[in-house]
């Protein structure tokens, strides 16, 4: 059953009764109360300011509890989101950026005065009796505007680093060392350990402050930047019992952005041990009813349910409203959404697809570019290439794995990975070559060329050898110049504007370990222009990589049973085992309706097809087997979902 958790700021002096009425009318199970958020943020609350919010949330909790609504609490700040002209005056040591900029409002995680305040603040409010006390997403080192990158270079934090390193570099020397090109400097891992230990110490203090009175929850953002901070997910989830993963754009976005949301939910799922509650946050910024359409909100809620969410945490009211009765459209949206959401409730599931691997210490291994941002390797890139082409993904290494970009620095054992099927972009191929595994790829990476490089023969198009179709690489920021090995098969060639050969474009190779590798010259394939030929190439690559073992004793991919989707642009699948049934959920990220065609559906019985249309009742539609394909006698609208499920082995 759908569980709505409504994040809401009750204004001081306002009657919480209308909020309780709204919850009762629209089946809202829980309200997550905000304190001092955004426009009402006057700095870290203390003294009379803290007292005001304490009495405000106590009144709201009493009114809501009396109506059977559960209540949690989300203090707006821990470290502090962004200065925005504000100044804190509680004596906290401020954040300092790698460039030496000093925050006026955000506190250092090393500051003992701030630590005491945070533990006391959470402890005091926990005494009111909340189900969950949330650590807001400003509990991080990065992204504290207007600082460049963020903080973590305060004198107190540097002193902790100096003790750990038994050396005393200046801030400038430390930043230069940890971001330098080439093999990572040992100081990088030590600074990340410094940050990690400081963060875990603070979470431990807060947990002790709320223990026995409330569960502790954590909001999180991207995996790549968390790795740059040295975050340990396992250690954090030893201390917190609820997770609020970011996954949705803050405002209206094209439907194809569902690829980002689906991938974010999937890649964060394995981080959590069993028993940790997950309530993904359906974001809304600037917190008005015009920021995001009801259709988009609905589609993101469905995506969260399909990922196995326990509840949906919703930002659907302005933080300064004080009166939900002014926004009847919100209530209608929640009521109309519930039937489809109930049909998408999943619970425990096991996902299948092309593997998208991630290691939390990735940023400790990446070769730098002189900036903190250069340490951030984005694990979503491979998923954002595959999903819009109708190819399901799963977190981690799989029989067929897609490895893009700087994540290749973190692969613990590349030889073991290359025993299976591996899809590489040009950047990953260059990195694996530098790591000494070039002979297993079937290509030589002679150079990685930037778009701005002046040349009489610049790269321009990619031509498919089988049929001659042309695809553009004209706006790729970088392309790897590939030379295929004699025993490799070249699928495409990169050409200049005059049709001259520039290098191999996509190269397939069976290596001496029995693994299959397909390398693309493009260093950011997810940013290539989309087209039918691109989908054909991507799906053919996955099928080839998952083919039968090419040599005796080689690995069996199991991929003949992996469904792939066509029939329209941006038909994005999730493939999972849910209980005793297999389920393929296909979202339409295009503004045009489309009837999905699913190829490679395993044999089974009891095939059902359910169409989820935005804000409408679910309805069964006809699905027909045609060999290993399934054809649908209905079109899926923009941001709608087709749910296929069946009983199989």
Following DSSP, what letter does each residue of 317-359 receive, concatenated? S-TT---GGG-HHHHHHHHHHHHHHHHH---S-EEESEEE---
Report d(CA 443, CA 142) in Å as an integer: 38
Mean pLDDT (the chain) is: 95
Mean pLDDT along residues 516-531: 98
Do 618 and 340 touch, CB atoms closer than 8 A? yes
Tell whether 618 and 603 lie within a shared domain. Answer: yes
pLDDT, tens only, 40-62: 999 999 999 999 999 999 999 99
CA 487/CA 508 separation, integer angstroms: 9
SS3 sequence of 364-428: HHCCCCCCCHHHCCCCHHHHHHHHHHCCCEEECCCCEEEECHHHHHHCCCHHHHCCCEEEECHHH
Over residues 365-396, the pLDDT tens digits come to: 999 999 999 999 999 999 999 999 999 999 99
CA distance 594 to 200: 48
Distance between CA atoms of 468 and 431, rounded to whole angstroms?
Answer: 30
Q: Count CB-CB contacts under 10 A for residue 520.
A: 31
Q: What is the pLDDT at residue 603?
A: 83
**Could you write out the DSSP letters of every residue in 148-208?**
SSB----HHHHHHHHHHHT----HHHHHHHHH-SSSPPHHHHHHHHHHHHHHHHHHHHHHH
Q: Is residue 266 situated within a structural domain?
A: no
CA distances 279 to 62, 308, 325, 384, 614, Å, are 23, 10, 25, 23, 21
- Domain co-membership, 11 together with 122: no
**Residue 327, CB half-sphere, CA atoms under 13 Å: how many?**
21
The angle subtended at Cα 223 by Cα 217 and Cα 226, nearest 5°, is: 75
The average pLDDT across 264-289 equals 92
pLDDT value of position 553: 44
The set of residues, in sequence order, having a beta carbon less than 8 Å from that of 174 and lying 6+ positions away, is 153, 158, 161, 187, 191
Of residues 435, 425, 344, 427, the one with CA closest to residue 383? 425
The arithmetic mean of pLDDT across residues 612-639, rounded, is: 95
pLDDT band at 104; cut points 50, 70, 90: very high
The answer to whether residue 138 sits within a structural domain is no
**359 and 341 in a common domain:** no
Residue range 420-428: mean pLDDT, rounded:
98
Select, from the ranges 342-346, 413-417, 576-580, the one with the highest average predicted confidence (pLDDT): 413-417
347 vs 336 pLDDT, higher one: 336
User: Are 420 and 517 part of one and the same domain?
Assistant: yes
The b/e string for 84-115 (b: 16+ C-beta within 10 A; e otherwise) is eebebeeebbbbbbbeebebebbbbbbbeebb
Residue ranges of E strands in 425-559? 443-450, 461-464, 470-472, 478-484, 489-495, 501-510, 516-520
Domain final residue, candidates 330, 346, 362: 346
What's the confidence (pLDDT) of residue 548? 63
Residues 290 and 191 in one domain: no
| Domain annotation covers residue 568 | yes
pTM confidence score: 0.96
- Do 398 and 330 belong together in one domain? no
pLDDT of the residue at 555 = 39
In a domain, 339, yes or no: yes
Instruction: Tell whether the model's pLDDT for residue 348 goes beyond 90.
Output: no
40 and 174 belong to one structural domain: no
**pLDDT value at 288 more than 80:** no
**End residue of a domain, out of 491, 523, 557:** 557
Q: How far apart are CA 109 and CA 140, in angstroms?
A: 9
Q: How confident is the model over 85-94, as a mean pLDDT?
A: 95
Q: Does residue 88 fall inside a structural domain? A: no
> 331 and 232 in one domain?
no
CATH number at residue 635: 2.60.40.1180
- In the chain, the number of structural domains is 4
Q: How far apart are CA 205 and CA 188, in angstroms?
A: 26
* Distances, alpha carbon 47 to alpha carbons 51, 130, 138, in Å: 6, 22, 22
Q: Per-residue pLDDT tens for 140-150?
A: 999 999 999 99
Is residue 109 within 8 Å of residue 199, measured between CB atoms? yes
Q: Any idea what DSSP says for residue 92?
A: P
Q: How far is CA 379 from the centre of its chain?
A: 8
Domain that holds residue 206: 93-133+143-240
**Residue 309 scores a pLDDT above 50:** yes
What CATH number is given to the structural domain containing 415?
Answer: 3.40.50
Q: Is residue 27 part of a domain?
A: yes
Higher pLDDT among residues 285 and 271, named by residue: 271
pLDDT by residue (tens digit) across 204-223? Answer: 999 999 999 999 999 998 99
CB burial class (10 A; 0-12, 13-18, 19+) of residue 645?
Answer: buried
Task: Answer for the pair 278, 298: CB distance below 8 angstroms, yes or no.
Answer: no
- Tokens 């819009």 identify what position? 388
Pair 7, 25 in one domain = yes
User: What are φ and ψ of residue 479, in 5° steps?
Assistant: -135, 135
Q: Convert the pLDDT of each residue in 505-523 to its tens digit.
A: 999 999 999 999 999 999 9
* Same domain (yes/no): 158, 221: yes
Same domain, 362 and 333: no
Inside any domain, residue 195: yes
301 plus 384 within the same structural domain = no
Q: Is residue 297 part of a domain?
A: yes
At 218-227, the pLDDT tens digits run 999 899 999 9
Quick one: tokens of 263? 């991938």
Kindly report, residue by residue over 464-518, the tens digit of the pLDDT.
999 999 999 999 999 999 999 999 999 999 999 999 999 999 999 999 999 999 9
| Domain finish residue from 323, 346, 369 | 346
The maximal CA–CA distance of the chain, rounded, in angstroms, is: 77
Banded pLDDT at 547 (limits 50, 70, 90): confident
The arithmetic mean of pLDDT across residues 188-196, rounded, is: 98
């Amino acid at each position: 059953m759908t569980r709505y958790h409504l994040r809401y700021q009750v204004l001081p002096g306002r009657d919480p009764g209308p909020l309780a009425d709204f919850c009762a009318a629209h089946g809202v199970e829980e309200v997550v109360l905000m304190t001092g958020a955004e426009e009402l943020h006057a700095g870290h609350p203390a003294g009379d300011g803290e007292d005001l919010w304490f009495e405000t949330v106590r009144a709201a909790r009493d009114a809501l509890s009396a109506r059977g609504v559960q209540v949690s609490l989300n203090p707006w700040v821990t470290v502090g989101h962004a200065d925005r002209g504000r100044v804190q005056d509680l004596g906290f040591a401020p954040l300092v950026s790698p460039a030496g900029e000093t925050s006026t409002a955000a506190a250092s995680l090393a500051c003992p005065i701030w630590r005491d305040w945070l533990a006391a603040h959470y402890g005091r409010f926990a005494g009111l009796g909340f189900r969950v006390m949330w650590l807001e997403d400003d509990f991080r080192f990065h992204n504290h505007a207007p600082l460049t990158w963020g903080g973590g270079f305060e004198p107190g934090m540097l002193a902790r680093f100096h003790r750990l390193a038994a050396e005393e570099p200046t801030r400038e020397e430390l930043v230069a060392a940890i971001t330098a090109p080439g093999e990572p400097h040992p100081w990088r891992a030590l600074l990340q350990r410094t940050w990690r230990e400081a963060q875990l110490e603070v979470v431990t203090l807060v947990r002790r402050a709320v223990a026995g009175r409330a569960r502790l929850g954590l909001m999180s953002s991207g995996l790549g930047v968390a790795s740059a901070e040295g975050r340990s997910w396992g250690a954090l989830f030893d201390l917190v019992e609820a997770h609020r993963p970011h996954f949705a754009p803050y405002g209206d976005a094209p439907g194809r952005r569902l690829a980002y949301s689906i991938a974010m939910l999937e890649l964060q799922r394995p981080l959590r041990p069993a028993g940790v509650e997950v309530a993904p946050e359906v974001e809304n910024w600037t917190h008005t009813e015009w920021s995001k359409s009801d259709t988009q909100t609905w589609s993101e809620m469905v995506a969260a349910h399909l990922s196995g969410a326990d509840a949906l945490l919703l930002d659907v009211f302005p933080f300064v409203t004080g009166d939900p009765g002014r926004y009847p459209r919100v209530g209608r949206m929640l009521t109309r959404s519930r039937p489809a959401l109930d049909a998408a409730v999943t619970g425990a599931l096991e996902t299948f697809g092309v593997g998208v691997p991630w290691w939390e210490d990735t940023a400790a291994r990446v070769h730098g570019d002189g900036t903190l941002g250069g340490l951030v390797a984005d694990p979503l890139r491979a998923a954002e290439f595959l999903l819009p082409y109708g190819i399901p993904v799963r977190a981690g290494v799989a029989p067929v794995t897609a490895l893009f970009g700087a994540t290749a620095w973190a692969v613990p054992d590349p030889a073991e990975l290359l025993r299976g099927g591996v899809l590489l972009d040009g950047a990953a191929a260059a990195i694996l070559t530098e790591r000494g595994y070039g002979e297993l790829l079937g290509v030589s990476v002679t150079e990685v060329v930037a778009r701005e490089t002046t040349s009489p023969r610049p790269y321009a198009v990619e031509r498919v050898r089988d049929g001659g179709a042309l695809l553009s690489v004209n706006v790729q920021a970088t392309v790897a110049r590939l030379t295929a090995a004699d025993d490799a098969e070249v699928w495409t060639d990169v050409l200049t504007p005059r049709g001259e050969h520039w290098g191999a474009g996509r190269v397939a190779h069976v290596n001496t370990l029995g693994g299959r590798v397909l390398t693309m010259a493009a260093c950011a394939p997810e940013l290539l222009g989309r087209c039918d030929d691109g989908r054909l190439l991507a799906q053919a690559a996955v099928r080839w990589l998952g083919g039968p073992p090419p040599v005796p004793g080689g690995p069996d991919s199991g991929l003949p049973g992996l469904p792939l989707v066509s029939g329209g642009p941006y038909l994005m699948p999730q493939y999972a085992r849910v209980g005793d049934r297999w389920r393929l959920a296909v979202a339409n990220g295009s503004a045009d309706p489309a009837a999905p065609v699913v190829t490679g559906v395993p044999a089974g019985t009891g095939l059902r097809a359910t169409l989820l249309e935005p804000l409408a009742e679910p309805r069964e539609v006809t699905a027909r087997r045609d060999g290993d394909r399934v054809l649908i006698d209905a079109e899926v609208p923009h941001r709608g979902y087709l749910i296929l499920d069946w009983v199989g082995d």
